[in-house]
Structure 1
Amino acid sequence: MDLILVAVISLGAIGLIAAVILYAASKKFAVYEDPRIAQVSEVLPQANCGGCGYPGCSGFAGACVKAADAGSLEGKLCPVGGAPVMEKVAAILGLEAVAAEPKVAVVRCNGSCENRPRTALYDGAKSCAIAHATSGGETGCTFGCLGCGDCVEACQFDAIHMNPETGLPEVDEEKCTACGACSKACPRKIIEIRPKGKNNRRVVVMCVNKDKGAVANKACKASCIGCGKCVKVCPFEAITLENNLAYIDPAKCKSCRKCEQECPKGAIQAINFPPRKPKVEAPAGEAATKPAATKPAAAKVETPKVEVPKAEAPKAPEAPKAEA
């Protein structure tokens, strides 16, 4: 009985001493958290997609509070909540929301089944990451879409789906939040988060193939061959050519579409633009140019003819008659 009592008292004493030590440690090493972080976190959508560039919504809330102490929320954007959520965040922090340009995911590959013929059969786990690590895919292009749909699984907003006819992913721009999850999931980095552009229109090089022209052309009919014609025709210096691949800077592009017309492979596409009006050709048989207009000839002024009476010859005098 005494042993049990001693054991209980000993354990109680140990527990009491440990509690005192922990309490003292918690006070001494306590980490202060700004209450505004919790307030900002409450208005965020809690998607934890990482599209803001921070580990989850709590990390983004902490970054916003830190930025508010510096006096501006510039560069901070919740892609899921958009402008309405950022306005609430700015109101909590006593700042004005900074307008951010809306963005969207763009699949920079036009290697459809028609443009990019299959040269092999992939028989493995249906995963782009595994196919990229173990093989070059089913086509001759080692840069294009693998078609397994890792981007579809990564999207939390049902904004991207595989097109069974083309074998390529397609983005629903109405649902896309530009969180970047699909871009991170793609092992070949063919999905780019780009500004939507004015009137939701943009011009994009739909290819990421860095092979030389002949090799790229053999692998895909719609690949960029690095000819540089688009670079020469662009009046705004918005296109650069590096590693046999053209790239259009969305900040410089004015959507003149000259590069689209100049590209011999159709690798440059103008998205959400109205179709061009077909050129009206003159019917065969008609002259291409109208004949030059001739000045009308001056009217001839006819002078009235005046009849001049003819002079009559003088009559000869008659001979006198002889008398009988």
Structure 2
Amino acid sequence: MNVVVITVLTLAILGTIAALVLYFVAQKFKVFEDPRIDQVEEVLPAANCGGCGFPGCRAFAEAMVKSDDISELNCPVGGADTMNAAAGILGKEIAASDPMIAVVKCNGTCDNRPKTNFYDGATSCAVAASLYAGDTGCSYGCLGCGDCVEACTFDAIEMDEKTGLPVIKDNCVACGACVDACPKNIIELRKRGPKDRRVFVSCVNKDKGGVAKKACSAACIGCKKCMKECPFDAITVENNIAYIDFNKCKLCRKCVAVCPTNAIHEVNFPPKKVKPAAEKPSAPKAETAKAEAKTSENITSSDDKNKEE
């Protein structure tokens, strides 16, 4: 009986000592977590999309709390309202940022860019890009396997069966997942623009003009007409491809009118008003007017002659 009691007491004493040791170790190495992290995380959209540049909303909240300057931090999904709410919790100021949206920089529709071969492999742009240049004469364009669609967690992008190109929907939150998923880098995040209007060069082909035009009838040929026409110095041409700086562009659309291949896209603009052509007088009316003018001239001449006599 004594053995049992001694055993129980011994185990109880050892357990107590172990608990005390663990308690003091936990207090010694205790990591303090700012309670504001939970508060900031609550106002975030909980999308965990990585569009902010962090693994998830929790990591983004920690970065906001620990950063003295949060002007460079942005949650593209929540937008300005979410960032203002988070900044209010922290008592910090946030710089206003323009809403962004993804755009597809490829004109290579089935009509503009005919196929030269057939790809019979895994339905993945990443796999196809690692195996060969593409199934058309353009090695820069969209491969059409839909990696961008699978990467989007907001159902904001879909493949157009007629054109074979991805289409960005209005509910795009600019998380950048499709940008990272595209191995050809044809998707870019740009400003939505006033009234959701934007102008951009929908091509990434860096080949010289003749080669690019042969591969795709709507390719940018680097002719620099748009750059010369732009009054705001918003367009540059480098490596045979034009680029429109959305921070400088004033949406005048003069570049669109001079592009010989229609490589520049204008989105959500009202149709331009076409001025009615001036009507040319018909042949009989023109001859009648000419005859009347001749008759009037003869009468005037006759009157002058009578006066002289």
Give the TM-score band, short-chain normalised.
0.7 to 0.9
Of 71, 82, 85, the match for 2:82: 85
Tell me the residue number matched to 1:256. 252
Between structure 1 and structure 2, the one with the greater Rg is 1
* CA distance in 1 between partners of 2:43 and 2:49 (Å): 15
Deviation at 1:16, TM superposition (A): 6.1
The Cα of 1:15 is off from its aligned counterpart by 6.4
- Contact map agreement 2:71 2:93 (CA 8 A) in 1: no
Match of 1:275 among 261, 271, 290: 271
Aligned residue in 1 for 2:231: 235
Report the residue type matching 1:58 in the other structure: R
Alignment partner of 1:247 is 2:243: yes
Residues 228-269 of structure 1 show CA distances to partners (whole Å, capped at 9, x for unaligned) of 111111111101111111100000011111111111111011
From 107, 119, 124, the counterpart of 1:122 = 119
One of 165, 173, 181 as aligned partner of 2:177: 181
1:94 equivalent in structure 2: 91
Summarize the alignment of residues 150-189 of structure 1 with structure 2, pairs less than 5 Å apart. 150-173=147-170, 175-189=171-185
> What is the distance in 2 between the residues matched to 1:7 and 1:223?
86
Match of 2:132 among 122, 135, 142: 135
Identify if the C-alpha distance between structure 1 residues 36 and 116 changes in structure 2 by more than 3 Å, giving closer, same or farther: same
Q: CA deviation at 1:199?
A: 1.6
Three-state SS of the structure 2 residue aligned to 1:40 is helix
Structure 1: which 5+ residue stretches go unaligned?
Answer: 288-296, 304-324
Shift of 1:36: 0.3
For 2:144 and 2:3, the matched residues in 1 are separated by 72
In structure 2, do the counterparts of structure 1 residues 267 and 25 end up closer, same or farther at CA, with 3 Å as the change threshold?
same
Q: Which moved more, 1:95-104 or 1:15-24?
A: 15-24
The match for 1:146 is 143
Residue 56 (1) aligns with residue 52 (2): no
Residue in 2 aligned with 1:207? 203
Note if contact 2:52-2:175 (Cα within 8 Å) is conserved in structure 1. yes
| Corresponding residue for residue 44 of structure 2 | 44
Percent of aligned pairs with the same residue? 58
Q: Superposition RMSD on alpha carbons, in Å?
A: 2.9
Query: What is the CA distance between 1:76 and its match in structure 2?
Result: 2.6
Q: Distance in 2 between matches of 1:13 and 1:62?
A: 41
More helix by share: 2
Q: Name which of 170, 187, 191 aligns with 1:191.
A: 187
- The code of the aligned residue for 1:88 comes to A
Q: How far apart are 1:85 and its partner, in Å?
A: 1.9
**Residues 228 and 23 (structure 1 numbering): CA distance in 2 closer, same or farther, change over 3 Å?**
same
Moved more, 200-209 or 72-81: 72-81
Tell me how many residue pairs correspond in the alignment. 290
Aligned counterpart, 1:111 = 108
User: Any idea what the Cα deviations from partners look like across 1:272-300, whole Å, max 9, x if unmatched?
Assistant: 1111222433345569xxxxxxxxx9x99
Give me the TM-score of the superposition, normalised by structure 2.
0.84
Specify the alignment match of 2:289 in structure 1: none
